[in-house]
Amino acid sequence: MKSSKIIYKAGALSAFLIAAFIPLQMIIFFVSPPPKAAVDWFHLFQTNKFVGLLDMDLLLIVDQVLTVFLYLAMYEALRKINKSFMKIAVALGFIGVATYLASGSAFEMLHFSNMYTSATTEAQRSLAIMGGELALSNWQGTAFDVAYVISGIAFLLISIVMFQKNIFGKTINYLTLIIGILMLIPPTTGNIGMMLSVTSVFPLWIWVILIGKKFLRFN
């Protein structure tokens, strides 16, 4: 099997897995909305550790790892059209993935939850709460915002290359552009950012399904 075909199959599988995770993540957020304070997170983790990890974006962490294979497949498909743009786009995409992974605090919060539960003094509980609040700050702090915006720029650059030669089809081209634009404002910036983030979920879900199908047709 040619290396390009392996890359496309890996990209397709990653796309379909992400498509499966998106509605699951939405259901989890509606059924069990993420708490606000560290102590409330501690109680959630002690009640159901798995739900706690999912509420703290465990599936999104997996999505980011899978996105690496999407970037590789898109680079393989578009490099002959504009290699320079694709190198920059994929490099930004990889930086976005790495930065997002650095912002993840799911297992740190689990650790502080266990620490809080096993604490025998008020000082130990206060230390656990302090650590939990710091983990929350890191979870949706600067690293998260930078990763979000950089990923949006990567999508915009990829969409520019897509429009240069229509090998993916107009629907995928425009969805890539729309997703890139919507990701330029992170959800942590307020109501507008949150609205754009929620709005981007549906086009992203359609996009991963369509691009996964397209990768399966490439040789």
| pLDDT tens-digit series, residues 1-47 | 578 899 999 999 999 999 999 999 999 888 988 998 999 999 999 99
Residues recorded for the chain: 219
* 219: confidence class by pLDDT, cuts 50, 70, 90: low
69 contacts 11 by C-beta, under 8 angstroms: yes
Type of residue at 41: W
Type of residue at 85: F
Q: Identify the pLDDT of residue 198.
A: 87
Q: What is the mean pLDDT of residues 160-166?
A: 95
Q: What is the mean pLDDT of residues 101-128?
A: 93
pLDDT at 173 exceeding the cut of 80 = yes
How far, CA to CA in Å, does 128 sit from each of 53, 109, 158, 202? 18, 9, 43, 38
Q: What is the mean pLDDT of residues 100-123?
A: 93
Which regions of the chain does DSSP assign to beta strands (E)? none
Type of residue at 154: A
Q: Identify the pLDDT of residue 168.
A: 95
| Angle made by CA atoms 99, 100, 102, in degrees to the nearest 5 | 65
